[in-house]
Structure 1
Amino acid sequence: MAIYDSTITSKGQTTIPAEIRELLGLKPGDKIRYVAQGNRIYLRVKNGNAMELAGVLHDPSRPRMSLEEMDAAIGDALAEDDRRIMSDWHRHKRSSEVSSG
């Protein structure tokens, strides 16, 4: 694990070390996002858009899907996710009722 230090100016500004900019592929004008989670802060690169991802997951060995097939697959995945969430919620609710007795 590499550790890099930076100093904060009186205006609250800092310079991202060159090694980090290179590692993340940051260039002038790119956006970054700070994500706070507990007492940790994560730096996320936010310099792309969804259209740049087009075709990135294409597997040439798989047959192409129609839009209707994609919609159906997405619907099935959402329905399964909803079932899982509801099951977890009901299990949590039951365990809360038992513990509060």
Structure 2
Amino acid sequence: MPVATVTSKGQITIPIEVRTALGLRAGDRVQFIQGADGAYEIRPANQSIRALRGALSRYAPGTPVTVEDMGTSIAAAAGGDNQ
């Protein structure tokens, strides 16, 4: 089981086997998601802008789209919840 040590600055080095399994590279971002049981899950947070294609549902031309509508659609397409 991979283990990491937290530095005095709150930093850790993610073990190579975990980075490989998550597909992480230098400069990538990660999310820390807290589950209902209080445990945390680490997920890669980087996505190509191309991955968002089609995330917004189609609106009729000229129909205004609110920022909230955009956020909800993006969160749903990304598999997250809109908090």
Shift of the alpha carbon at 1:21? 0.7
1:4 and 1:10 mapped to 2: Cα distance?
Answer: 20
1:40 and 1:18 mapped to 2: Cα distance?
Answer: 22
TM-score (norm 1): 0.47
1:73-95 superposed Cα distances (whole Å, 9 cap, x missing partner): xxxxxxxxxxxxxxxxxxxxxxx
Shift of the alpha carbon at 1:53? 6.7
1:44 is matched with: 43
Q: Which runs of 4+ in 1 moved over 6 A?
A: none
Q: Which consecutive residues of structure 2, in runs of 5 or more, have no partner in the other structure?
A: 59-83
1:40 and 1:46 mapped to 2: Cα distance?
Answer: 18
Q: Which consecutive residues of structure 1, in runs of 5 or more, have no partner in the other structure?
A: 55-69, 72-101
Greater fraction of residues in helix: 1
Identity of aligned residues (%): 35
Which one has a bigger Cα radius of gyration? 1
TM-score (norm 2): 0.56
| Aligned-pair Cα RMSD in Å | 2.4
2:21 is matched with: 23
